Chains A and B, each alone.
Chain A
Amino acid sequence: MANGYRIVIGLEVHVELRTNTKIFCSCANRFGAEPNTQVCPICMGMPGTLPVLNKKALEYAIKAGLALNCNIASFSKFDRKNYFYPDLPKGYQVSQFDLPIAHGGWINITGEDGQPKRIGITRLHLEEDAGKLLHEGTDAFSSLVDYNRAGVPLIEIVSEPDLRSPEEARQYLTELRNILRYTGVSDVKMEEGSLRCDCNISLNPVTTDQYGTLVEVKNLNSFRAVQRALEYEVERQAALLDSGCQVKRETRSWDDSAGVTRSMRSKEKAHDYRYFPEPDLVPVAVDQAWVETIRQDLPELPEAKRKRFMQDLGLPPYDAEVLTASQELAAFFEECLAVYDDAKTVSNWVMGELLGYLNQEGLDITASPVAPKQLGELLQLIADGTISGKIAKQVFVQVCQTGKDPQTIVAEQGLRQISDSSQLEGIIAEVLAAHPQVAEDFRSGKEKALGFLVGQVMKATRGQANPQLVNELLRKKLQ
């Protein structure tokens, strides 16, 4: 789509930290409360009030930094970013300018060539969120402001300009979200605004190494929007460059319903934020021992888990990818594996039957009606020949619906597979008597005819006959 151009993308991701209280006051950090009920004089920026850093927010920022392979600064500080807007009660945002809490990290994605590709993370810093403007039920001259979000702790994660396609950007975001979700520092829900993403994108002719003019894209409310907006920008900028025009350095806003980006403000008139050190807070000295404690506390992260699933359990990359998409799903898989240790079979059932069912019912893995142990036991029943795979699928649905254990369902409904040849021989005789012509066809070499006969036996046993055994017995009889 952009032949002859190199695409250069960098992302700025804001993530709300899931602390109990806000970053500089003791108000609850809670999404979805009635407007202006989670506020106090401090987060409303009233005269004389002062911030006190929530240590948990610092801990979470460090945790996120470590999970993203960053260096944690032993000395860091806060700065004021000055600008006027009604959602910003103090007229400045407390942020970090030149000494962020973490820097120099990376995460891996799968590159275009299928090989792992390392995407650099320039920095990660801690700051406070602003409130939210509401325009419902107001006239053209007024707006309403909700300050519940003002002072919610945020981390801003800035990537290096290492991404080379909208698809890579989507992958980076997905991996970033997974990692942060694993660490538990955030809900990372784009629809609730706990993860927000701005993109920087430029195109330059492949004949040069020099970056093209940077365009910032904002107002991206889903991963899909990020990818679509970037794809749109690639087309737009390539068309401009093709026709000999210049790309303007500006900020553009994504209009999701129209599927286009629109100019917001040109960068020439950009804000001068007049950053300076926040005099109301003391610099942050981070003890190395504390950092190590937090590092010890990190869970196994998605990439390590994927590697283990492939190398130790022999799963294909696709399975490993799907199963590690969330920590809860991976845990489900592993708990199941503890009961029934054939990884590939468990993987097939989790990805197929389980995710299929959850998807159909609109449920999250955490709300699965089937316990991992139950699925493991079900697979055990197949393995020891108690039930057939086909019956197992029915049992699975019943476990989902009733919550009963697979063994109970099999026993109650007499679903146990008939593997006793003496029990089957009578039925086989009846089937052959009823279909003499088919039996004759088989004898005369029509291999297919056997399938029909097996089907008739299965039908007569309501699917409970062991199909392999039926097959053997029929062949013997027809010889």
Chain B
Amino acid sequence: MGLYDMPINNLNKLIASGAVQATEVVEDVFDRIEQVEGKVRAYLTLNKEAALQQARRIDEQVAHGEEIDPLAGVPVALKDNICTKGLRTTCASRFLESFQPPYDATVVERLRARGAVILGKTNMDEFAMGSSCENSAFFPTHNPWDLQRVPGGSSGGSAAAVAAGEAVYALGSDTGGSVRQPAALCGVVGMKPTYGFVSRFGVVAFASSLDQIGPVTRNVQDCALVMNAICGRDPLDSTSADIAPPDFTSFLTGNVKGLRLGVPKEYFAAGTDPAVADAVRAAVDKLCELGAVAEECSLPHTEYGLSAYYIIATAEASSNLARYDGVCYGRRDEVRADLLEMYLHTRKNGFGPEVKRRIMLGTYALGSGYYEAYYLKAQKVRTLIRRDFEQAFQKYDVLVAPTSPTTAFKIGERTEDLLAMYMTDVCTLPVNLAGLPGISIPCGFKDGLPIGLQLIGRQFDDGRLLQAAYAFEQNTDFHQRRPQLDGTGR
């Protein structure tokens, strides 16, 4: 096992003890990147010099006998919609191709304060709009398990980087499944915390009421460590919750005795790959073997989730993306005609087709005469979906479902069939609509492609998900398998 492939905890202990230098870890990860990045293409920007500098600081602290934070010296990759001061933040868009934020996102500030080493910025669907990473304005990312296939999206670069050993862990953002779905497709752990648990300040907004930052890791313990670092009230985000987060590692007991699991039948609807359904049901059986109790349940409004989601998310996006007008920053197409022409050219050339499509959808949904029929109705559906969950959580502690109805699909396979593409998120987006925590962990393989198990919890009961996920992980070995990228026999 190379350094690049080690869990956060082990790496950090090695660094803290002086047995391994943080700079060695960084070098090792960059060696790995050099080996496989040409195939995976997970990164939009690499940050080697600054990463080494940061690692040297950690090494100095260790040399001075100082205590270091559990994340110190551990290399992390950030999705490219998370603002990093002085480091290009593009959202995989031509519009922000050379945008250097003069500020760090709160999550970045928190990671930096803990001595994290930032490797670079990962590829994504443009402005996080997509489920396959194919909407990146620059290039698609490839699934490390099968380079012909997508890594999922929109945090595809983060998931692929972690799966391929190009980062020890990563941050993604999840608006409708954008952390959990690529984690499932890449065979890693991806978590969307409860809405409000993690500050959105400095995260380029797609849909403000749904966006949430979450960790992508190779195991549940790493996920808990990252959650400890990123959760908590931020005065710069009015929607961040005034709730002190627990120590998430305290939930890693391995014990699920008496845990009540609900298995919503609607999440196994037509279109679910039978292999995925089987793997998820087998996972439920495994948890029951360990002492949990499970029964089938119903979330009756699930089928309306997708429509409601695409109205609310696009409505908010149409407004959030209005700021890209060529005036203050980012791209501007100089048109010496008039203001309108400048706007039109800048936005026509600055945005890709999926972004334009969603801006148009959202603009339409908010238009006078349509607002009640679309936006307001979607909000009502949202309330119904939230109530479904509330009712279910009166009986169950955790809901268990597939993360994605299928395993990773081929690059180009769904780009012409938007509905099929949108259906990819059908099991994850209700969780965003309800603002709940969700986690995806590896639970099986089909034809060498990973299958994700999704656990959904009560609001601010994120720890319980980690408890169940950890117990499952301790008794299975899916998380230990690695994709075979040529020449990786280290």
Contact = CB atoms under 8 A, between A and B. Distances in A.
Interface stretch (A86-94, A200-208, A313-321, A408-416): A86-94
A274 B319 contact: yes
B366 A280 contact: no
Contacts, number: 105
Contacts of A274: 318-319, 363, 366-368, 371
A239 interface: no
A89 B319 contact: no
Given A82-B366, A91-B323, A276-B375, A48 B208 contact: no
Nearest to A85: B339
B307 to A, nearest CB: 17
Contacts of A41: 101-103
Contact of B319 (A47, A53, A80, A141): A80
A53 B237 CA distance: 10
B256 interface: no
Contact of B367 (A49, A92, A272): A272
Interface in A244-279: 272, 274-276, 279
Interface string B315-330: 1101101111101110
Interface stretch (B196-204, B386-394, B472-480): B196-204
A46 B101 contact: yes
A47 B371 contact: no
Contact of B322 (A51, A92, A275, A276): A92
Of B89, B91, B101, which is in contact with the most chain A CB atoms at under 10 Å from its CB? Answer: B101
Given A89-B328, A274-B366, A282-B238, A47 B339 contact: no
Interface in A129-160: 141, 145, 147
B381 to A, nearest CB: 16
B96 interface: yes
Nearest to A87: B327
B241 to A, nearest CB: 10
A75 interface: no
B243 interface: no
Interface in B28-51: none
B368 A53 contact: no
A50 interface: yes
Interface in B338-353: 339, 343
Contacts of B103: 41, 46, 49
A173 interface: no
Contact of A90 (B322, B363, B371): B322
A279 B105 contact: no
B202 A48 contact: yes
Contacts of B235: 52
A276 B96 CA distance: 26
A84 to B, nearest CB: 6
B205 interface: yes
A111 interface: no
Nearest to A51: B238
Nearest to B207: A279
Contacts of B363: 274
Contacts of B202: 48-49
Contacts of B82: 48
A48 B323 contact: no
Of A89, A274, A280, which is in contact with the most chain B CB atoms at under 10 Å from its CB? Answer: A274
Contact of A50 (B81, B200, B319, B322): B200
B323 A89 contact: yes
Interface in A262-318: 272, 274-276, 279-282
B89 A47 contact: yes
B110 to A, nearest CB: 15
Chain B: interface size category: 35 or more
Interface residues of A, number: 30
B445 interface: no
Contacts of B339: 86
Nearest to A53: B238
Interface string B230-259: 000001111100000000000000000000
Interface string B74-89: 0000000111000001
Contacts of A141: 336-337
B319 A82 contact: yes
Contacts of A48: 81-83, 101, 105, 200-205
A280 B321 CA distance: 14
Interface in B92-112: 96, 99, 101-103, 105
A141 B340 CA distance: 12
A184 interface: no
Nearest to A90: B323
A111 to B, nearest CB: 38
B319 A276 contact: yes
B278 to A, nearest CB: 39
Nearest to A80: B319
Given A279-B208, A280-B208, A52 B236 contact: yes
A190 to B, nearest CB: 28
B366 A86 contact: no
Interface in A84-111: 84, 86, 89-92
A50 B201 contact: yes
Contacts of A46: 101-103, 323, 328-329
A24 to B, nearest CB: 9
B459 interface: no
B209 interface: yes
Nearest to A45: B323
Nearest to A39: B328
B277 to A, nearest CB: 35
B238 A92 contact: no
A47 B101 contact: yes
A427 interface: no
A274 B363 CA distance: 8
A47 B209 contact: no
Nearest to B338: A141
B478 to A, nearest CB: 35
A89 B238 contact: no
Interface of B: 81-83, 89, 91, 96, 99, 101-103, 105, 200-205, 207-209, 235-239, 315-316, 318-319, 321-325, 327-329, 336-337, 339, 343, 363, 366-368, 371, 375
14 contacts: A45-B323, A47-B323, A48-B105, A48-B200, A48-B202, A49-B201, A49-B202, A52-B237, A86-B339, A89-B327, A274-B318, A279-B316, A280-B205, A281-B239
Interface of A: 41, 44-53, 80, 82, 84, 86, 89-92, 141, 145, 147, 272, 274-276, 279-282
Given A47-B91, A50-B238, A52-B237, 10 more contacts: A46-B323, A46-B328, A52-B236, A82-B322, A91-B319, A91-B321, A91-B325, A272-B367, A274-B371, A280-B239
Query: What are the 5 closest A-B residue pairs judged by CB atoms, nearest first?
Result: A91-B322, A279-B208, A274-B366, A279-B209, A47-B204
